[in-house]
Amino acid sequence: MSIAVQAPRTIAEKVARLNWGVITLLCALAFIGVLMHFSVSSGVWDEMPLTHGMRFAALLLIMIIAAVFLDTRFWQTIAYPLYLVSFLALVAVEVIGQTRMGATRWLSLGPISLQPSELMKVAVVLAIARYYQQIDPRKTGTLLWSLPPLAMIALPAALVMKQPDLGTAMLIAITGLALMFLGGLAWRIIAVGAAGAVGGALMMYKHLHGYQKARVDTFLGLQDDPLGAGYHVLQSKIAVGSAGLFGRGWMHGSQAQLDFLPEKHTDFIFTMIVEEFGLVGGLFVLVLYGALMALALRIALRSRASRFGRLAAAGVAAMLASYVFINTAMVIGLAPVVGIPLPMISFGGTAMTTLMAGFAIVLSVDLHPSQQGARGLLL
């Protein structure tokens, strides 16, 4: 079943061999984003839809260039150094970070302000892929050899949680654990870990910040607070429930257009999609994401030459799935409100940049299937 694929030589050849399915899906999602931001702007071609579209176009170009010029070996090479830099930056945030809107997430580097937690999302995927590339397959099932990747996930997740950014911490943890699972984590460890996680969650709940706790409480139905933490989800459920099969029409969703729906351009944009395009529209967007995940996973499965590449590509798919599932589940009241945007569609450059970087890796792995990197400790 393994087909020897001749690696492309010229740049033109490489561009032609890019996975255009992935690119098309990304473009489709970003276009839906532009449509929704046009609607958020009440049908005016102002800054928002334009910024979204142009930001995507620029990132798309960078992604393609990166995919063409950087091969799997490059990503493998930078995996540990990138992780180290991200980790140090997270520590730096803890020490000297800027506080905006009650959370310390930003590092100021002259004119650029950086969120090291975003960098870490990509870094943790690369580092864990790198780790499993490196170790003896027979050791993948042992507890001892499972501890280093666990630490690689737990330490940054804990730092991010302290910022506090529960959503990103969850995202890092879920993505990393999915990768460990794919890497060959033993079932008995998983069983013990799952039991430990339930206990840990109860412990962690006690140490959550006030607003995080309120959100979790509301989600669990322990607290009835329609104007506080529950207001967001209540209004979101009203919008989804009243939308009908085909929605109220583009730019006619009353909950979104009249500002009853909070954060409609970022975290709650999926609600706006459902309100204006109905159940059908919402499912269509979910199908697009599903197709994108499937394509990324297919690339991983087909990349038999590089264990690092396949794990990295699968990790990006897991990260995308985490984004999409957490976000959509939260807006319909299936998960607590943790502030995770809908990738490619929500307004804002952070998540988009992170995901596009991820897909640069995926496309790069797809384009350079037979690259086998060094297997030393660092290089």
Q: Is 112 helix (H, G, I), strand (E, B) or coil?
A: strand
Q: Does 315 bind another protein (CB under 8 A)?
A: no
* Residue 202 beta carbon to another protein: minimum distance, rounded to whole angstroms: 23
Positions 251 through 280 that interact with another protein (CB under 8 A) = 254-255, 257-260, 274, 279
Of the candidates 62, 251, 286, 291, which one interacts with another protein according to CB under 8 A?
Answer: 286
* Residue 87 beta carbon to another protein: minimum distance, rounded to whole angstroms: 26
Closer by beta carbon to another protein, 132 or else 359: 132
Closer by beta carbon to another protein, 334 or else 378: 334
Of the candidates 182, 229, 345, 361, which one interacts with another protein according to CB under 8 A?
Answer: 182
Is the preceding omega at residue 164 within 30 degrees of 0, hence cis?
yes
Contact 213, 219 (CB under 8 A): no
Closer by beta carbon to another protein, 235 or else 353: 235
Give the full edge-to-edge strand order of the sheet including 112-114: 98-100, 103-109, 112-114
Name the one range near another protein by CB under 8 A: 26-34, 114-122, 163-171, 309-317. Answer: 309-317
Angle between helical axes of 72-96 and 349-367 (0-180°, round to 10): 160
* Residue 213 beta carbon to another protein: minimum distance, rounded to whole angstroms: 24
Instruction: Please give the torsion angle defined by the CA atoms of residues 354, 356, 358 and 359, in that order, rounded to the nearest 10 degrees.
Output: 170
Q: Is 106 helix (H, G, I), strand (E, B) or coil?
A: strand
* Residue 357 beta carbon to another protein: minimum distance, rounded to whole angstroms: 21
Of the candidates 10, 110, 112, 138, which one interacts with another protein according to CB under 8 A?
Answer: 138
Instruction: Centre a 10 Å sphere on the Cβ of residue 225 and count the other Cβ atoms it contains.
Output: 13
Q: Which tokens belong to 281?
A: 């529209």
Q: What are the C-alpha distances in Å from 42 to residues 37, 94, 253, 303, 346?
A: 9, 40, 11, 45, 16
Contact 169, 204 (CB under 8 A): no
| C-alpha angle 249-253-255 in degrees, rounded to nearest 5 | 165
* Residue 211 beta carbon to another protein: minimum distance, rounded to whole angstroms: 20
Positions 42 through 71 that interact with another protein (CB under 8 A) = none
What stretches of 262-378 show up as alpha helix (H) in DSSP?
Answer: 269-302, 307-331, 349-367
**Left (φ > 0), alpha (ψ -120 to 50) or beta: where does 346 sit?**
beta
* Residue 222 beta carbon to another protein: minimum distance, rounded to whole angstroms: 20
Task: Give, for 185, the enclosing helix (H) or strand (E).
Answer: none
Positions 318 through 377 that interact with another protein (CB under 8 A) = 318, 321, 325, 328-329, 332-334, 372, 375
Number of residues that bind another protein (CB under 8 A): 58
Of the candidates 96, 198, 301, 378, which one interacts with another protein according to CB under 8 A?
Answer: 301
| Measured distance CA(219)–CA(225) in Å, rounded | 10
Q: What are phi and psi of 155, to 5 degrees?
A: -60, -55
Q: Which tokens belong to 205?
A: 């709940």
Binding mask 102-131 for another protein (x = CB under 8 A): ------------------------------
Of the candidates 21, 53, 81, 184, which one interacts with another protein according to CB under 8 A?
Answer: 184
Closer by beta carbon to another protein, 43 or else 241: 241
How big is the chain, counted in residues? 379
Positions 209 through 248 that interact with another protein (CB under 8 A) = 235, 237-245
Q: Which tokens belong to 298?
A: 């297919």
- Say which residue the tokens 């199908």 belong to: 287
Could you tell me which of 374, 298, 290 has the C-alpha nearest to residue 19? 298
Closer by beta carbon to another protein, 190 or else 208: 190
* Residue 34 beta carbon to another protein: minimum distance, rounded to whole angstroms: 23
Q: Is 144 helix (H, G, I), strand (E, B) or coil?
A: helix
* Residue 289 beta carbon to another protein: minimum distance, rounded to whole angstroms: 8
Of the candidates 141, 193, 348, 349, which one interacts with another protein according to CB under 8 A?
Answer: 141
Closer by beta carbon to another protein, 15 or else 332: 332
By CB under 8 A, name the binding residues for another protein: 132, 134-142, 178, 181-184, 235, 237-245, 254-255, 257-260, 274, 279, 282-283, 286, 290, 293-294, 297, 300-301, 304-305, 307, 310-311, 314, 318, 321, 325, 328-329, 332-334, 372, 375
